[in-house]
């Protein structure tokens, strides 16, 4: 574990670049590029929020601006991915999957009766069962991704006191894996919309030996899925598409991993140019 506490030189230089009404915080982990360790100091203005960054080496020296770009970007990417895991992935991991389980259970239990009454319904029922069964695994797959990111964070911040490009790339791959999974889920749900409607119509219009309580439950669950898809899921998918459009990246459905990787790289460049770079106080 390297020393992550600011030295006297760190503090001296941090205060030199501090402005009035600002607080400073030197992060307690570093980025290691294979040669040296680099720390990020964040300046927080009492009224304006985050107002500046300063990149220092292990001894506490201030880097010239051109040498600060790589560590500044790396440190911000690390923090952003961990923040994203907490804000987006953890809620998904804890999502109640009972409605999905009920859909699979009820359709499986009453599949024969539904198909007997309407043979054309077979493909829709099979598709809903197959896709919903796959969706049931999202919570566990998300948990695995969160645990991997948490493990990498622990190595960097608790065991070593720093991360390198290898850890950063592992984290990036896990984030891409999550985004691909959620995007594919959205595509699958949109594809199921017609199938949901067919099953609901059948249950509403044709006589059945299926217990009334089961019919009502299936209709309620599938109706809730349709409403969710038209509301929250549509907004989520639009965010995905808007981000790709903003980065001028084509979504290749045959290679989503590569598409998301390209989008993340262009987002990194854009973030530095527009948000990080202008706030770096290292001398040019």
CA–CA dist 16, 11 (Å, integer): 8
CA–CA dist 39, 26 (Å, integer): 7
pLDDT at res. 22: 96
Pick from 145, 151, 192, 180: nearest CA to 262: 180
Domain range annotation of the chain: 8-63, 80-279
CA–CA dist 253, 257 (Å, integer): 9
pLDDT at res. 208: 76
Neighbours of 160 (CB within 10 A): 18
This model's pTM is above 0.85: yes
The 3-state secondary structure of 205-244 reads: HCCCCCCHHHHHHHHHHHHHHHHHHHHHHHHHHHHHHHHH
pLDDT at res. 118: 87
CA–CA dist 160, 158 (Å, integer): 6
Contact, 162 vs 2, CB < 8 A? yes
pLDDT at res. 209: 82
43 torsion bin: left (phi>0), alpha (psi -120 to 50), beta (else): beta
pLDDT at res. 9: 98
Task: Walk along the chain (284 residues) and give the pLDDT tens digit of each residue.
Answer: 999 999 999 999 999 999 999 999 999 999 999 999 999 999 999 988 999 999 999 999 999 999 999 999 999 999 999 998 899 999 999 999 999 999 999 999 999 999 988 899 999 999 999 999 999 999 999 999 999 999 999 999 999 999 999 999 999 999 999 999 999 999 999 999 999 999 999 999 877 789 999 999 999 999 999 999 999 999 999 999 999 999 999 999 999 999 999 999 999 999 999 999 999 999 99
Q: Which residue has the tokens 């030295």?
A: 7
Residues 6+ away with beta carbon under 8 Å from 164 = 31, 32, 33, 34
Q: Measured in whole angstroms, how far is the alpha carbon of residue 139 from the centre of its chain?
A: 13
pLDDT at res. 164: 98
Residues 6+ away with beta carbon under 8 Å from 203 = 114, 210, 215, 218, 219
Contact, 156 vs 163, CB < 8 A? yes
Residues 6+ away with beta carbon under 8 Å from 189 = 131, 135, 225, 229, 233
- Please, what is the angle between helix 165-205 and helix 212-228, to 10°? 130
Token duo for residue 93: 């991991």
**φ, ψ for residue 43 (rounded to 5)?**
-100, 130
């Amino acid at each position: 574990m390297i020393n992550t506490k600011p030295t006297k030189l760190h503090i001296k230089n941090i205060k030199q670049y501090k402005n009035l009404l600002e607080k400073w915080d030197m992060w307690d982990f570093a980025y290691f590029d294979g040669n040296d360790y680099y720390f990020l100091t964040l300046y927080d203005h009492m009224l304006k929020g985050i107002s500046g960054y300063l990149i220092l080496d292990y001894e506490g020296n201030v880097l010239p601006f051109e040498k600060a770009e790589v560590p500044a970007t790396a440190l911000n990417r690390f923090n952003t991915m961990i923040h994203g895991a907490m804000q987006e992935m953890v809620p998904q991991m804890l999502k109640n999957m009972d409605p999905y389980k009920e859909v699979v259970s009820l359709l499986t239990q009453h599949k024969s009766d539904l198909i007997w009454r309407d043979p054309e319904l077979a493909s829709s029922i099979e598709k809903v069962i197959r896709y919903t069964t796959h969706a049931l695994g999202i919570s566990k797959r998300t948990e695995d991704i969160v645990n991997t990111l948490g493990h990498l964070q622990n190595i960097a911040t608790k065991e070593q006191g720093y991360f390198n490009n290898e850890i950063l790339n592992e984290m990036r791959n896990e984030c891409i894996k999550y985004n691909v999974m959620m995007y594919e889920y959205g595509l699958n749900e949109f594809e199921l919309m017609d199938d949901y409607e067919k099953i609901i119509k059948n249950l509403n219009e044709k006589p059945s030996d299926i217990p009334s309580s089961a019919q009502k439950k299936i209709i309620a669950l599938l109706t809730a899925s349709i409403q969710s898809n038209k509301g929250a899921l549509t907004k989520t998918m639009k965010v995905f598409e808007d981000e790709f459009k903003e980065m001028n990246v084509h979504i290749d459905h045959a290679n989503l991993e590569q598409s998301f990787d390209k989008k993340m790289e262009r987002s990194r460049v854009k973030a530095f140019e527009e948000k990080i770079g202008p706030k770096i106080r290292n001398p040019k």
